[in-house]
């Protein structure tokens, strides 16, 4: 059984179909990429999986459970985390606080314990702080720990966005163009992080425009165009597909 199964999903915005009859299956531990021109429906697909939009038709199963109509927080609690394409961080908080927010549902103490900051609350904060520090080390964000997110350069904010999703300790990680607008060096770092995340056993769905990167690191690739899956398979199969070459004419060199 696939860890994530998107079955025949259709999503419309006022009559315009952003997704029509999209199906997708991802196995545990896979790194699956979604490519396609701008406006193809890639972000919409992630929105449907993470519960921000609910499809008109079709259903979505995660580890055998139907999550089609659950709210985003309920889906996050089941182990799906997401890094947004348009950075959606808490800009008035520090990097550390942003990541601690990802531990929200893992922090188990009551209001009174929190107000007295005693016993359970202190222990849980320290335990989760340790975990967050591991993510900070891993994503090489040490110099920015106490910096306000709003003041950080774009490339670093992109990295914090991924780090925060990772701090949720997800089973499935959805990455929406995590390398867009980055310098070559930053991109290489991000590729390294993604490969390492996958190596640790987390399933990854990646949306990425750089075909070189996609072909290099993906186990499988889905190609979306006009809200439909036009090709699917291993990178080298997809690259040879004539419909893909057609869809990418003029879009990618």
Partner 1 sequence: MRNPWAQTGNYRTRYEQDASIFATHRELVSLLLFLGFLLVLPQFLSRTQVFILDLILVYSIAVLGLNITTGYAGLINIGQAAFMGVGAYTAALLAPAGLPFYLVLPAAGLTGAFFGYLVGIPSLRVKHLYLAMATLAFQVVFEWTVGHLPLLNQGGAMPLPRVSLLGYEVGFRNHYHFWYYVSFAVLVLLALFFRNLLRTKYGRALVAVRDNDRAADAMGMDPGRTKLFAFALGAFYAGVAGALYAYLSRAVVIEDYTFAVSIKLLAMAIVGGLGTLVGSFLGPAFLELLDVNMEALSNLIKALGFSVAGVDVASALRPLAFGLVIVLFLVFEPRGLYNWWRVVRSYFRTWPFRY
Ligand X SMILES: Nc1ncnc2c1ncn2[C@@H]1O[C@H](COP(=O)(O)OP(=O)(O)O)[C@@H](O)[C@H]1O
Residues that bind ligand X (CB under 6 A): 13, 18, 36, 38-44
Q: How far is CA 220 from the centre of its chain?
A: 16
Query: Left if phi > 0, otherwise alpha if psi is -120 to 50, otherwise beta: which for 12?
Result: beta
Kindly state the smallest distance separating residue 84's Cβ from partner 1, in Å. 7
Sheet holding 220-225, edge to edge: 80-83, 172-176, 203-207, 31-35, 220-225, 228-233
Considering only the stretches 1-9, 15-23, 98-106, 216-224, report the one whose residues sit in contact with partner 1 under the rule CB under 8 A: 98-106
**Residue 119 interacting with partner 1 (CB under 8 A):** no
Chain residues 155-184 in contact with partner 1, contact rule CB under 8 A: 164, 168
Residue whose CB is less far from ligand X, 43 or 202: 43
Kindly state the smallest distance separating residue 42's Cβ from Mg ion, in Å. 5
Kindly state the smallest distance separating residue 197's Cβ from partner 1, in Å. 18
Helix, strand or coil, per DSSP, at residue 74: helix
- Residue 13 interface partner, choices Mg ion, ligand X, partner 1, none, CB cut-off 5-8 Å depending on type: ligand X
**Residue 52 interacting with partner 1 (CB under 8 A):** yes
Residue whose CB is less far from partner 1, 126 or 184: 126
Helix, strand or coil, per DSSP, at residue 13: strand
Tell the residue number behind the tokens 């222990």, with chain if given.
Answer: 123
Kindly tell me which residue out of 43, 68, 128, 218 binds Mg ion, with binding defined by CB under 5 A: 43
- Residue 38 interface partner, choices Mg ion, partner 1, ligand X, none, CB cut-off 5-8 Å depending on type: ligand X
- The CA-atom distances, in angstroms, between 235 and each of 3, 31, 221, 232 are 21, 11, 6, 9
Considering only the stretches 97-105, 182-190, 201-209, 239-247, report the one whose residues sit in contact with partner 1 under the rule CB under 8 A: 97-105
- What residue spans of the chain are helical by DSSP H? 42-49, 72-77, 95-102, 111-116, 120-138, 154-167, 184-199, 211-217, 235-240, 242-248
Residue whose CB is less far from partner 1, 104 or 243: 104
Kindly tell me which residue out of 14, 64, 115, 201 binds partner 1, with binding defined by CB under 8 A: 115
Q: What is the widest separation between alpha-carbon atoms in the chain?
A: 65
- Residue 183 interface partner, choices Mg ion, ligand X, partner 1, none, CB cut-off 5-8 Å depending on type: none
CA dist., res. 26 & res. 216, Å (int): 18
- The CA-atom distances, in angstroms, between 120 and each of 16, 56, 106, 123 are 51, 44, 13, 5
Helix, strand or coil, per DSSP, at residue 247: helix
Kindly state the smallest distance separating residue 43's Cβ from Mg ion, in Å. 3
Q: In the complex, which residues of this chain contact partner 1 (CB under 8 A)?
A: 50, 52, 71-73, 76-77, 81-82, 84, 88-93, 97, 100-105, 107, 109, 111, 114-117, 121-122, 125-126, 129-130, 133, 164, 168
């Amino acid at each position: 059984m696939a860890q994530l199964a998107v079955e025949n999903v259709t999503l419309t915005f006022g009559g315009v179909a952003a997704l029509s009859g999209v199906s997708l299956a991802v196995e545990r531990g896979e790194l699956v990429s979604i490519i396609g021109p701008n406006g193809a429906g890639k972000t919409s697909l992630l929105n449907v999986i993470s519960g921000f939009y609910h499809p008109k038709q079709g259903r979505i199963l995660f580890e055998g459970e139907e999550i089609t109509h659950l709210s985003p927080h309920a889906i996050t609690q089941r182990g799906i985390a997401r890094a947004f394409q348009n950075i959606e961080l808490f800009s008035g908080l520090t990097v550390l606080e942003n990541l601690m927010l990802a531990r929200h549902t893992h922090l188990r103490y009551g209001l009174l314990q929190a107000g007295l900051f005693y016993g359970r609350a202190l222990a849980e904060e320290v335990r989760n702080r340790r975990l967050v520090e591991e993510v900070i080390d891993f994503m090489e964000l040490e110099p920015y720990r106490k910096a306000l997110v709003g003041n950080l350069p774009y490339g670093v904010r992109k990295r914090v966005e991924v780090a925060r999703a990772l701090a949720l300790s997800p089973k499935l990680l959805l990455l929406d163009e995590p390398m867009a607008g980055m310098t070559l060096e930053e991109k290489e770092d991000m590729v390294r992080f993604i490969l390492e995340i996958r190596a640790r056993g987390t399933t990854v769905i990646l949306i990425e425009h750089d075909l070189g990167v996609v072909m290099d690191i993906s186990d499988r690739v889905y190609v979306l165009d006009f809200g439909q899956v036009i090709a699917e398979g291993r990178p080298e199969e997809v690259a040879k597909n004539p419909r893909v070459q057609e869809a990418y004419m003029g879009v990618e060199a």
